[in-house]
Each structure stands twice: as structure tokens, then as C-alpha cells.
Amino acid sequence: MIPMKWSKKILLALVITFITMQFIQPARNKNGQVLPIDFTKIYIVPANLQVLLQNACYDCHSNNTRYPWYVNTQPMAWVMAGHIKNGKEKLNFSEFGSYPTRRQESKLKGIANSIKDDIMPLSSYKIMHKTANLSPADKTLLMNWMQRKADSLAQIN
């Protein structure tokens, strides 16, 4: 066999690495059912608000992610899986009812504040998902609703 040049060997190794990467697929975050402890089951959420949550939050903060076409390309899927795991740990709308009332109040305020301070949705997410770019009116709607809900829970706590 003719000895290859080093640069070619390295290139070949890189190509093999990239191809191998494609076979390591993280598990999908997709659970078709809506649990009884879902955010929309424990609270009466107006339809327009549900759409906003779906478009801007649920991909990382629920049990159901709408995956983009590039999900099958590594390392994108790994990055996404990491974001989803982290996001669900902090806040999961699909299991919102499992939080004690005080946690719920805290989370609702946290949601309002994160939107107000422009911490959420993540700017990297907004680049890839145009619908996550909330208009000022959408933001106000979300913040006011979350705040009102938190205030009503505060009276129970």
C-alpha cells in the first residue's frame, strides 16, 4: 500500500469521526400525551397565550419538543438535548402541577421576570426559531398573565 501523507491521514480520521458522530443519537423529548398536571390542565390558559408558550417556550420547557430538520445532524442534536435537559430541570410546563403551590407562584413570577429582563427565550434559540421572537405586545400579555396568576396564588400561600 502506498503510504498516505499525514495531512490526508488526519483528514480521513476527521471524516470518520464526523460520520461516526452521526450514529450517536440522543433520545428524543417527545411524549405525545398531555398529563393531568399540565400547565393548561391546572390553569385556564387563553388560547392566544397557549400559542405563545408553544412557540417560545415549550421546545425546551415541556415534554414535547418540535424538532427542526437539522435534528438528525450531529452535533446539533447533542446541543439541543443538553438545552432541553437543562430547561426541563428548571421549568417544565408539562408537569407544572407537580410543583407545590409556593413553587408554582415562584415559577410564575420567574417566567414574568425572565421575559421582562430578556433572559428568556435564549438569544441563540431565537436566531433559529423566528416564532420565538415575541413582540412587545406578546411580552406584555405573557408577563401580565403570569403576574396575575402569581398574585392569585400568593393569596392562597
Partner 1 sequence: MKTILFSIVVLGTLSLAACNNGTDKSTEANKTNADTAQAATPENTDSTKSAAPISAIVGHYLHLKNALANDDGNDAAAAGKAMVGAIDQFDTSSLTSDQKKTYQELAGDTRENAEHIGANADKIDHQREHFEMLSKDMYDLVKKFGAGQTVYQDFCPMYNNQKGATWISETKDIKNPYLGKKMPTCGSVKEEIK
Binding site for partner 1 (CB under 8 A): 11, 14-15, 17-18, 21, 74-75, 78-79, 82, 85-86, 100, 102-103, 105-106, 109-110, 113, 117, 119, 157
Least distance in angstroms from the C-beta of 5 to partner 1? 13
Residue whose C-alpha is closest to residue 40's, from 62, 66, 59, 20: 62
Nearer to partner 1, 54 or 83 (CB): 83
Q: Per the structure block, which three cell numbers stand in for 108?
A: 410564575
The x, y and z cell numbers of residue 66, run together, are 418540535
Shortest Å, Cβ 120 to partner 1: 11
Q: In 72-83, which positions are buried (b, 16+ CB within 10 angstroms) versus exposed (e)?
A: eebeebeebbeb
Is 52 or 84 the residue whose CB approaches partner 1 more closely?
Answer: 84
* φ, ψ at 152 (rounded to 5°): -70, -35
Task: Give me the least distance between CB of 129 and partner 1, in Å please.
Answer: 19
**Shortest gap between Cβ of 123 and partner 1 (angstroms)?**
15
55 or 142, CB closer to partner 1?
A: 142
Q: How far is the CB of 106 from partner 1 (least distance, A)?
A: 5
Of 72, 73, 87, the C-alpha closest to 125 is 87
When the beta carbons of 133 and 147 are compared against partner 1, the nearer one is 147
Cell of 70: 437539522
Cα(42)–Cα(44) distance, rounded to whole angstroms? 7
C-beta closer to partner 1: residue 34 or 143? 143
